[in-house]
């Protein structure tokens, strides 16, 4: 199929490259000239493992363009994957989605059937609105009765750091459409994924035991809600275990043991039960805020979602308070922070818990040194104006420091030589904000070790 993908962020570029690899002719459009310049040189503007290799394997099936109007002329399917950031009241800002839809409608050839699928996470009713925007533009062009655009909702569930895996081997594909033709077009688009009739990229073998993903066909409103409800549920699962972790510390239980015992119950499941600094990133914070804003519009309260946000924000402060207790105050202390990305495997620092901890520490007068294997550039921009020292080497970072906070559980940190690190610290205090290390091992290496929910 001829496909246009609008927006080349984590979602758009991954989807575009995967569809091109699967044999579709894909044009990815972005309005950011700096991103386009990189893309045209085969470079990805975002850090996602395997993405550049996939772009290269996609070869001539994958093209890039600056202007939507030109890129959509021959498109059968147009995927909108632009950002939907939070407004100050928490509502999701759909202006980029609407602007993209308008430009699509201005560029489409008349007399054709097109499918416009909204992959961005958008509040309920956005699909209806996008349909109206498109219809109005087509009417103004005088081609309203000759051109059909099926607007469908196709929410995205990929996880940064595992984006390619999630795209080739999804748990489900959700399509919300008013007309069955919309579902049919997306079924054709994703056919090779739904039937797993592709040769996997060499670096991304099909997982053993993977079963064919279902296509969940539903109405657009339910599709939009599936996305928000899923993210809110995952967020509250993490907040729940963090709340339990707090009590574990009081009563002397180990939350990692508690989570293991809970997770074996298939009704609960073991995913998203890791206690730590809490959740962040470009999705959970804004999507839970958008859900609350949607509820408020309908004079409805969602105390569970509100509480999960509250617990999450409290978690950042609890970590700093633990440090304050142990060091008898953080003012004037040299504190190292390992990890700045909101989770391992990505350079995304949007709403990163690690950055919040850095900000709180700086606010309270600490001298903060930071390191991240891939997110340093993004973190430098996000922390601009704040007095923070950036280190390229974790061993140099700890030299003379009074405490170390592990804020993002990058696998490479697991292999650090804990004894060597402790040896150069002024006071070897380790606050393991992701329960990455074995407490006994850390203590044997000379650390005063504190984890989350496993230290009294
Ligand atoms: N990042 C994730 O893990 C993830 C997962 C699932 C869903 N989502 C949702 O998908 C959407 C995109 O997320 P993302 O993280 O990929 O965003 P992003 O911010 O990384 O990328 C969005 C891109 O869209 C481009 N853009 C904006 N308006 C445009 C226009 N009119 N024409 C062309 N390009 C335009 C921007 O320049 C940017 O490159 C959001 O709604 C998000 O909530 C994200």
Q: In the block, which residue shows the tokens 């290269």?
A: 56
In angstroms, the Cα distances linking 426 to 327, 333, 447 are: 12, 10, 11
* CB 16 within 8 Å of CB 62: yes
Name which residue sits closest to atom 21 of ligand 1, judged by CA: 9
The closest-lying atom of ligand 1 relative to the alpha carbon of residue 163 is 3
Mutation test residue for ligand 1: of 13, 30, 85, the one with most atoms within 8 Å of CB: 30
The domain segmentation of the chain, as residue ranges, is: 2-217, 284-450
Which parts of the chain register pLDDT below 50?
456
**Binding residue per annotation — 288?**
no
Residue 96 CA to residue 90 CA, distance in Å, equals: 16
* Of 155, 189, 184, 185, nearest in space to 172 by CA: 155
Count Cα neighbours of 28 within 13 Å in the Cβ-side half-sphere.
Answer: 35
Which residues have a Cβ under 8 Å from the Cβ of 401 and sit 6 or more positions away?
334, 335, 336, 369, 425, 426
Q: How much is the pLDDT for 147?
A: 84
**Binding residue per annotation — 35?**
yes
229-249 burial, b at 16+ Cβ within 10 Å, e below that, comes to eebbebbbbbbbbbbbbbebb
**Binding residue per annotation — 203?**
no
The closest-lying atom of ligand 1 relative to the alpha carbon of residue 46 is 20
* CB 388 within 8 Å of CB 369: yes
Q: What is the whole-number distance in angstroms between the Cα of residue 95 and the centre of ligand 1?
A: 12
* 248 catalytically annotated: no
Q: What is the whole-number distance in angstroms between the Cα of residue 50 and the centre of ligand 1?
A: 19
The closest-lying atom of ligand 1 relative to the alpha carbon of residue 103 is 31
CATH 3.40.1160.10 assigned to 284-450? no
**Binding residue per annotation — 84?**
yes
Name which residue sits closest to atom 18 of ligand 1, judged by CA: 9
Residue 51 structure tokens: 């993405």
Residue 287 CA to residue 290 CA, distance in Å, equals: 5
The closest-lying atom of ligand 1 relative to the alpha carbon of residue 155 is 7
Count Cα neighbours of 186 within 13 Å in the Cβ-side half-sphere.
Answer: 27
Q: In the block, which residue shows the tokens 């069955």?
A: 180
Mutation test residue for ligand 1: of 4, 14, 34, 81, the one with most atoms within 8 Å of CB: 81
Domain 284-450 in the same topology as domain 2-217: yes
Residues with CB under 6 A from ligand 1: 6-12, 29-32, 35, 68, 81-84, 96, 99-100, 119-121, 156, 158, 160, 282-283
Residue 240 CA to residue 308 CA, distance in Å, equals: 7
* CB 449 within 8 Å of CB 436: no
Q: How much is the pLDDT for 456?
A: 47
Region label for 453, one of left (φ > 0), alpha (ψ between -120 and 50) or beta (otherwise): left
**Binding residue per annotation — 272?**
yes
Residue 421 structure tokens: 């690190």
Name which residue sits closest to atom 31 of ligand 1, judged by CA: 100
CATH 3.40.50.720 assigned to 2-217? yes
User: Which helix (H) or strand (E) is 133 found in, with range?
Assistant: helix 126-140
Q: Is 340 helix (H, G, I), strand (E, B) or coil?
A: coil
């Amino acid at each position: 199929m001829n496909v246009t993908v609008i927006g080349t962020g984590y979602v758009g570029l991954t989807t575009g490259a995967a569809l091109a690899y699967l044999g579709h002719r894909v044009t990815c459009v972005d309005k950011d000239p700096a991103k386009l310049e990189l893309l045209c040189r085969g470079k990805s503007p975002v850090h996602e493992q395997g993405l550049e290799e996939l772009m290269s394997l996609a070869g001539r099936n994958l093209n890039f363009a600056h202007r939507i109007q030109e890129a959509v002329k021959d498109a059968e399917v147009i995927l909108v994957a632009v950002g939907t950031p939070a407004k100050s009241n928490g509502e999701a800002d759909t202006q980029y989605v609407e602007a993209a839809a308008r430009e699509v409608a201005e560029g489409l050839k008349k007399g054709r059937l097109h499918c416009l699928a909204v992959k961005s996470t958008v509040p309920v009713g956005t699909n209806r609105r996008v349909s109206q925007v498109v219809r109005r533009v087509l009417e103004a062009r005088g081609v309203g009765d000759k051109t059909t655009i099926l607007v469908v909702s196709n929410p995205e569930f990929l996880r940064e750091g595992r984006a390619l895996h999630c795209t080739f081997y999804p748990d489900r594909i959700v399509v919300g459409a008013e007309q069955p033709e919309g579902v049919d077009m997306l079924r054709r688009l994703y056919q090779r994924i739904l039937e797993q009739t592709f040769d996997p990229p060499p670096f991304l073998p099909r997982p053993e035991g993977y079963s064919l993903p279902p296509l969940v066909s539903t109405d657009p409103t339910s599709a939009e809600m599936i996305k928000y409800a899923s993210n809110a549920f995952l967020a509250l699962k993490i907040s729940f275990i963090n709340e339990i972790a707090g009590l574990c510390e009081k009563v002397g239980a180990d939350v990692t043991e508690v989570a293991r015992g809970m997770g074996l119950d298939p009704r609960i499941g073991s995913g998203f039960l890791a206690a730590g600094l809490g959740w962040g990133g470009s999705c959970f914070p804004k999507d839970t805020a958008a859900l609350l804003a949607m509820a408020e519009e309908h004079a409805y309260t969602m105390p569970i979602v509100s509480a999960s946000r509250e617990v999450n924000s409290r978690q950042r402060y609890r970590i700093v308070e633990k440090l304050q207790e142990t060091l008898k105050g953080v003012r004037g202390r040299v504190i190292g922070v390992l990890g700045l990305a909101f989770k391992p495997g990505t350079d995304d620092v949007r709403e990163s818990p690690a950055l919040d901890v850095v900000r709180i520490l700086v606010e309270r007068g600490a001298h903060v040194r930071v390191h991240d294997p891939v997110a340093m550039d993004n973190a430098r921009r996000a922390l601009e104006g704040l007095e923070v020292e950036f280190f390229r080497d974790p061993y140099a970072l700890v030299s003379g420091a009074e405490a170390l906070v592990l804020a993002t559980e990058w696998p490479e940190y697991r292999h650090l030589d804990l004894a060597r690190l402790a040896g150069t610290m002024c006071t070897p205090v380790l606050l393991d904000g992701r329960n990455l290390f074995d407490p006994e091992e850390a203590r044997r290496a000379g650390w005063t070790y504190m984890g989350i929910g496993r230290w009294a």
